Structure 1
Amino acid sequence: MGENTVFLAAYARLPQDIAAYGLYKSVGVYAEVEVDTGVIIEADVSFYSQVSINMIRAILKGKNIVLDREVILKAFESRYWGGGRKAVITAVKRLFERYDEVMEQLERDPIPDLTDEYRL
Structure 2
Amino acid sequence: MPTRKIFISGYAKLPKGITATELYSVIAVGLLVNAHTGEILDADCTLVTSVAKNFFKNSVIGENLNNIDAIERIFTENYYGSARKAIISALRTCAEKYKQVIVEGKIEEEHE
TM-score range, shorter chain: 0.7 to 0.9
Alpha-carbon RMSD: 2.0
Q: Deviations over 1:19-52 (max 9, x none)?
A: 1101000001110110122110001111121111
Count matched residues: 111
Matches within 5 A, 1:94-113: 94-105=93-104, 107=105, 109-111=106-108
Please report how far the alpha carbon of residue 59 of structure 1 lies from its aligned counterpart in structure 2 after TM superposition.
1.3
Q: SS of 2:65's equivalent?
A: coil
Quick check: 2:10–2:94 contact (8 Å CA) kept in 1?
A: yes
1:103 Cα deviation from its structure 2 partner: 1.6
CA distance in 1, matches of 2:17, 2:72: 24
Q: Which residue of 1 aligns with 2:65?
A: 65
Q: Mark the structure with the bigger radius of gyration.
A: 1
What's the TM-score, normalizing by structure 2? Answer: 0.88
The structural deviation recorded for 1:98 is 1.2
Structure 1: runs of 5 or more not aligned: 115-120
Residue 45 of structure 2 contacts residue 53 of structure 2 at CA under 8 Å; is this kept in 1?
yes
Which residue number corresponds to residue 118 of structure 1? none
> What's the secondary structure of 1:17's corresponding residue?
coil
- 1:56 partner letter: F
Separation in structure 1 between the aligned mates of residue 100 and residue 78 of structure 2, nearest angstrom: 28
Alignment of 1:1-120 (within 5 A): 4-66=4-66, 68-105=67-104, 107=105, 109-111=106-108
Moved over 2 A (4+): 109-114
Q: 1:112 to 1:29 in 2, by over 3 A?
A: same
Output the TM-score relative to the length of structure 1.
0.82
> Which amino acid in structure 2 is aligned with residue 77 of structure 1?
T
Q: Tell me what 1:117 maps to.
A: none
User: Which structure 2 residue ranges, 5 or more long, are not aligned?
Assistant: none
